[in-house]
């Protein structure tokens, strides 16, 4: 004999007919929101404790609920918990099983609570845990970048603008630029956490509840920073998901930029880096190939996180107050974002630790693009030549050197003085690449002491940041 919807659905009292099988499959979310089971159990335990403190349920009923929920946690962990599609979501699956275990106390757990504020709480706890993981992974990656920068603080390579050789910089400066990007990402993630760790429990469906709840107790039990200010906003707000996904999009954008440079540098025509075997693959037909597939795939995965953000923005843009079932669609985009961002950060840290840097190839590349031209222009300006004239003089010298297939530093004094009588023997020290870098000692610049100061600053930040 079939079981009616009225008997098998926790919300089925008003219904006499069964849900259509296709609709049941279409509306079921347990296939993905089961990942929120730990947060659902934690939130339910906090809610039960508050109900007992407020005298709404007895302490013995609260204890039974806690024991039952911990039994369910164990069943989920060991794989014996049966997830039922007909129970729709993680919340009703757990509540149904709890009632099977403890009886009547399980039916009292939902007092003063709606699935609207329940799912908002669960998701906030889940997103907060993900942001904590991202922050930890970002710290690790920043530490690796600082470590590799310190190891290579004396290595020079061409710095580019418009992807054309511009000026010599230290490899450390280049790596530290990414450290600063990820440091800002870390700060954004931590800032988003403050707005995520707000408890909506007590808002109920949308208007609050007549039961004498204490939302602050629930928030304190769960380690949250505050409670909702408006019950309608509490159940309909998904800003925290959007903000987290935006943070994830920025993280992936920065990772993608770094991947792009690794891919370019690994090309033998550059040869600036040697890919570690553990983070590259080969070709099925060309035995000489060593492909930067990991970096390429990470670069490609950036687009899917952007898509997740756009999906969430589109989801929320037309929703009236308060909760709408559309919001069920907020889970999968964020889950996808987390499943992309968290491992990408860990993989990048591992790849950078093993990445080999070829200082000889980088040094040879310095001579290919007249990267010391700005030094000559600045030298002439320091001699009193108006900078625009110095710029034209240097451009003419570069053209002459290029025609002769040599660098500016390879021209002799007589050749250089053809372009300006203000050029003296001291120009050759200025044209030296190491000196060009060393002279840029402005704070944040590429000079050796500035770079060491940047490394020390990051080390201090790492020591004081979680």
Of residues 246, 170, 209, 230, the one with CA closest to residue 450: 170
Residue of 75, 119, 96, 90 lying closest to 30 (CA atoms):
90
Annotation marks residue 162 as catalytic: yes
Buried b (16+ CB within 10 A) or exposed e, 211-224: eebebebbbbbbeb
Query: Could you give the residue range(s) of every CATH 1.20.200.10 domain in the chain?
Result: 116-148+165-358
Tell whether domain 116-148+165-358 is in CATH 1.20.200.10: yes
User: Structurally, what CATH architecture does the domain formed by 5-111 represent?
Assistant: Orthogonal Bundle (1.10)
Between helix 59-78 and helix 90-102 the angle, nearest 10°, is 120
Q: Which residues on adjacent β-strands are paired with residue 170?
A: 156
d(CA 38, CA 130): 13
Domain with CATH 1.10.40.30 in the chain: 369-458
Residue 376 CA to residue 386 CA, distance in Å, equals: 13
Catalytic annotation, pick one of 4, 58, 60, 283: 283
Give the architecture-level CATH label for domain 369-458. Orthogonal Bundle (1.10)
**∠ Cα 83 86 87 (to 5°):** 65
Q: What residues does 273 pair with on adjacent strands?
A: 357
Taking the C-alpha atoms of residue 249 and residue 257, their distance in angstroms, rounded to an integer, is 12
**110 is annotated as an active-site residue:** no
Rounded CA-CA distance 147/262 in Å is 17
Quickly tell me which residue has 């609207």 as its tokens: 116
Sign of CA dihedral 445, 448, 452, 455: positive
| DSSP state letters, 136-147 | HHHHHHHHHHHH
Looking at residue 279, the DSSP 8-state letter turns out to be: G
Spot the catalytic one: 16, 162, 284, 464.
Answer: 162
Contacts 24+ apart (CB under 8 A), 443-450: 445/173, 446/159, 446/168, 446/169, 446/170, 446/173, 448/153, 448/154, 448/170
Asked whether 382 and 390 are in contact (CB, 8 A), the reply is no
Residues 310 and 314: their CA atoms lie apart, in Å, by: 6
Question: From first to last of its 466 residues, what are the pLDDT tens digits of the chain?
Answer: 334 444 556 666 677 778 788 888 888 999 999 999 999 999 999 999 999 999 999 999 999 999 999 999 999 999 999 999 999 999 999 999 999 999 999 999 999 999 999 999 999 999 999 999 999 999 999 999 999 999 999 999 999 999 999 999 999 999 999 999 999 999 999 999 999 999 999 999 999 999 999 999 999 999 999 999 999 999 999 999 999 999 999 999 999 999 999 999 999 999 999 999 999 998 888 888 899 999 999 999 999 999 999 999 999 999 999 999 999 999 999 999 999 999 999 999 999 999 999 999 999 999 888 999 999 999 999 999 999 999 999 999 999 999 999 999 999 999 999 999 999 999 999 999 999 999 998 999 999 999 999 999 999 999 999 7
* The pLDDT of residue 24: 84
**Segments of the chain assigned to CATH 1.10.275.10:** 5-111
d(CA 315, CA 331): 11
Q: 0.85 exceeded by the pTM? A: yes
Q: Is residue 142 within 8 Å of 182, Cβ to Cβ?
A: yes
3-state secondary structure of 378: helix
């Amino acid at each position: 004999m079939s079981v009616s919807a009225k008997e098998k659905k926790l919300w089925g009292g008003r219904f006499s007919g069964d849900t259509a099988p296709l609709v049941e499959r279409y509306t079921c979310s347990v296939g993905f929101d089961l990942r929120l089971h730990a947060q659902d159990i934690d939130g339910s335990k906090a809610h039960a404790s508050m109900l007992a403190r407020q005298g709404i349920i007895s302490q013995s009923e609260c204890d039974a609920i806690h024991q039952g929920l911990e039994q369910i946690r164990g069943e989920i962990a060991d794989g014996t918990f049966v997830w039922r599609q007909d129970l729709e979501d993680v919340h009703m699956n757990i509540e149904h099983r709890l009632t099977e275990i403890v009886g009547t106390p399980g039916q009292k757990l939902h007092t003063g609570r709606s699935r609207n504020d329940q799912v908002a709480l669960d998701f906030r706890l889940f997103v907060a845990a993900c942001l904590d993981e991202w922050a930890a992974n970002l710290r690790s990656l920043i530490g690796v970048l600082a470590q590799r920068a310190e190891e290579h603080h004396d290595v020079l390579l061409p710095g580019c603008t418009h992807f054309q050789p511009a000026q010599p910089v230290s490899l450390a400066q280049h790596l530290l630029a990414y450290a600063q990007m990820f440091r800002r990402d870390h700060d954004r993630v931590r800032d988003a956490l403050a707005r995520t760790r707000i408890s909506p429990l007590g808002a109920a469906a949308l208007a609050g509840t007549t039961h004498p709840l204490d939302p602050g107790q629930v928030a304190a039990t769960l380690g949250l920073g505050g409670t909702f200010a408006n019950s309608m906003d509490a159940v309909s707000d998904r800003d925290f998901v959007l903000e987290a996904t935006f943070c994830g999009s920025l993280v992936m954008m920065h990772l993608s930029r770094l991947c792009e440079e690794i891919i370019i540098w690994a090309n033998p025509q550059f040869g600036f880096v040697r890919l570690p075997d553990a983070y590259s693959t080969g070709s099925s037909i060309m035995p000489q190939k060593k492909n930067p597939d990991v970096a390429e795939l990470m670069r490609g995965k950036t687009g899917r996180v952007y898509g997740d953000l756009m999906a969430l923005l589109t989801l929320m843009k037309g929703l009236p107050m308060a909760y709408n079932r559309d919001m069920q669609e907020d889970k999968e985009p964020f889950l996808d974002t987390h499943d992309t961002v968290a491992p990408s950060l860990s993989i990048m840290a591992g790849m950078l630790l093993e990445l080999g840097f070829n200082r000889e190839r980088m040094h040879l590349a310095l001579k290919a693009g007249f990267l010391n031209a700005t030094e000559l222009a600045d030298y002439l300006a320091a001699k009193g030549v108006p900078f625009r004239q110095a710029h034209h003089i240097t451009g003419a010298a570069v053209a002459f050197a290029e025609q002769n297939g040599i660098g500016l530093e390879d021209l002799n004094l007589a050749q250089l003085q053809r372009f300006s009588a203000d050029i003296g023997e001291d120009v050759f020290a200025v044209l030296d690449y190491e000196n060009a870098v060393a002279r840029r000692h402005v704070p944040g610049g590429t000079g050796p002491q500035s770079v060491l100061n940047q490394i020390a600053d990051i080390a201090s930040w790492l020591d004081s940041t979680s």
